[in-house]
Amino acid sequence: MRLLVLAVLLSAVVLFPSEAKRMNIYGETIVTEITPESGAMWTRVNDKEPMFPIELAKARMAGCTILSFDVVESGKADNIQTVISIPNTKISQHATSIVSQWQTAQTPTAKESHTVRLDFCLGLESLENTQQACAKQIQLPCE
């Protein structure tokens, strides 16, 4: 009897793999510069949108965070502070990691203060649908 139950369970696992393994998840990350709007010396070398963090995708976590930081004379982001993070601090941790890795195109001659918003969007249908949903999300307040 035990062998029969074990055989049925094993065949169910082999014949019907979990839905999560077959599900595609599409992630999009959008960076929006809040301040300064113009006149800043510092700009990112690569202004392509950052990759969606795999840990957030596995957790199916989406949201937004606003960070403030200073760019020092060395060109690195310093004093990175979370202004707000929705739905929780896990989003903020990934956003902080992304900002801390940015390279500068032009090093400022003096410290500059910046505020950016990072939106992390997820979708299950297609990358195009996820991008459209993210375009709507960035119009909403991050609060």
- pLDDT tens track for 94-131: 999 999 988 777 777 778 888 999 999 998 888 888 88
Q: What is the pTM of this model?
A: 0.76
CA distance 89 to 17: 33
Q: Which residues contact 57 (CB under 8 A, 6 or more apart)?
A: 25, 27, 122
The beta strands (E) that lie in 50-99 are given as: 63-71, 77-86
- Tokens 């997820």 identify what position? 122
Q: At 98, which helix (H) or strand (E)?
A: helix 89-100
- Give me the pLDDT at residue 41, please: 67
